[in-house]
Structure 1
Amino acid sequence: MFSDWKRRRAARRVKAGDGHALQRYRWWQPLSRALLHLELPDEDGETHTWSVDIRLWGDEDGDVLAQLYRDGRHHAQSKLPATFPVPGGTIEVVTSQFGLKRCHFVAIDGSERQLVPDPASAEGRRARLEHRHPFVGRAIGLTSIAVLLFAVVLGIPQIVDQVSHIPPVAENLGTFTSPFSLPAWLNVTLLVATLVASTERALRLHNHWLLDGGLFDGDT
């Protein structure tokens, strides 16, 4: 959840929309686009659909923006992290290097709920798997955590080992020898598995500062 300072800063980045129509989700966009929806009643009691569209690989200028739509029409846009005022609260959007980190409606009373992924999106397909086959979904989630924990345990000592042997570091702090020394092919395999595991967790909007590298996302 955003701090008050972050929320005020993000609010200044919001720009009014131009009213263009929300594009339909295409089959080739699962890794490059996230689309989520939220049904909210207006002040007059009429329910409207609010949609958040993020092109994770950036637009034609390379900027990653959160686009907000109301009933399929462009309502506002913002650089990330974003916070959009909507009836009854705000919608907060944060991305990580692997996908979505947060896309939640935060009510005025402080309660919050995640927006619902579009059924055609990768996030929607992952949510559907969890709903239809909960055992399989949980098993995949636990496997992702195990892979990331394994990567942390084996990877960090090797990184510290290499850094400690840089001459200025070695002269001032001494050297460290990692208890693990994996062959190159295994390190590459571990890296690929880590990327897959973190991407899988991002599809569920799960993020941990250590496991998923959230410490370096810079969501300010």
Structure 2
Amino acid sequence: MMREWRRRRAVRRVEPGDGRPLKRFRWWQVPFRALFHLRLTHTDGRHEVYSVDVRHGQNQSSGNVRARLYLGGRLHSQSRLPAVLPVPGGVVEVRMSGFGLKRCHYVTDDGAEHQLTPDPASAEGRRARLDRSHPALSRCVATFSAIVLVAAVAVLVPQLVEQLTAPAAIAQHTGRFHSPVDLPKWANIAIGLATAAASTERALRLRYSRLLDGAAG
């Protein structure tokens, strides 16, 4: 019920588009732009291509990050994130994490979900091409990213809990926790950079775990 309420609320945020054309993806936009496509076939045999353009390099907390839905290369509708954009036969759901998109899926009226196809020029498209052309290497990269995040949670979370329970006002109620791991500052910085890289790699595949990626963010 809560999910349906959130979806209806998101749908109310959708604004009509003004028909402006979809701009071509430029190579220098790779770090801060995501572009996905959805090809729908109607019962009469007609084909329509929807595109979702997200400029996620903007400040997410300001509410300026929007998902723009294009139909046939023209702006059809838009909404700030998290977005639920109506299309024939269902909706397109778009959500972000701190490292990129965590969801860009077509959800049909009967509940089936299909991830949209990333544009070949985008970072997500380049990661998908690696998966197709070098599947073994792709699996190794994905596995390494997961291992990095698991290790980061095991190392950083106890240190964080120790800091949170250090103040006397808190320690008198909970007791002070002493982390079994005590790394130098440079090591924690290195782990933080590694976890950011791992979570970014997972975001390129639209993989998200509240425990792993959420903790890293």
TM bucket, shorter chain? over 0.9
Runs of 4 or more off by more than 6 Å in structure 1? none
CA distance in 2, matches of 1:168, 1:213: 28
Residues 1:164 and 2:173 are matched in the alignment:
no
CA distance in 2, matches of 1:165, 1:62: 35
TM-score by length of 1: 0.93
Q: Which structure has greater helix proportion?
A: 2
Residues 1:88 and 2:89 are matched in the alignment:
yes
Task: State, as a whole percentage, how many aligned pairs show the same letter.
Answer: 52
CA distance in 1, matches of 2:119, 2:131: 15
Residues 1:45 and 2:45 are matched in the alignment:
yes
Contact preservation (8 Å) 2:199, 2:216: no
Contact preservation (8 Å) 1:58, 1:65: no
Amino acid at match of 1:140: V
Name the residue aligned to 2:55: 55
Amino acid at match of 2:48: H
Name the residue aligned to 1:24: 24
Q: After superposition, give the CA deviation of every residue in 1:33-75 in whole Å (9 maximum; x if it has no partner).
A: 000001012464310100000000228x870000000010000
Deviation at 1:5, TM superposition (A): 0.9
Deviation at 1:147, TM superposition (A): 0.3
Amino acid at match of 1:158: Q
TM-score by length of 2: 0.94
Residues 1:204 and 2:179 are matched in the alignment:
no
User: Is there any run of 5+ residues in structure 2 with no aligned partner, and where?
Assistant: none
Name the residue aligned to 1:194: 195
Structure 1 vs Structure 2 CA RMSD? 1.7
Q: Number of matched residues?
A: 214
Q: How does 1:72-111 map to 2 (within 5 A)?
A: 72-111=73-112
CA distance in 1, matches of 2:110, 2:139: 31
CA distance in 2, matches of 1:215, 1:160: 15
Q: How does 1:146-161 map to 2 (within 5 A)?
A: 146-161=147-162
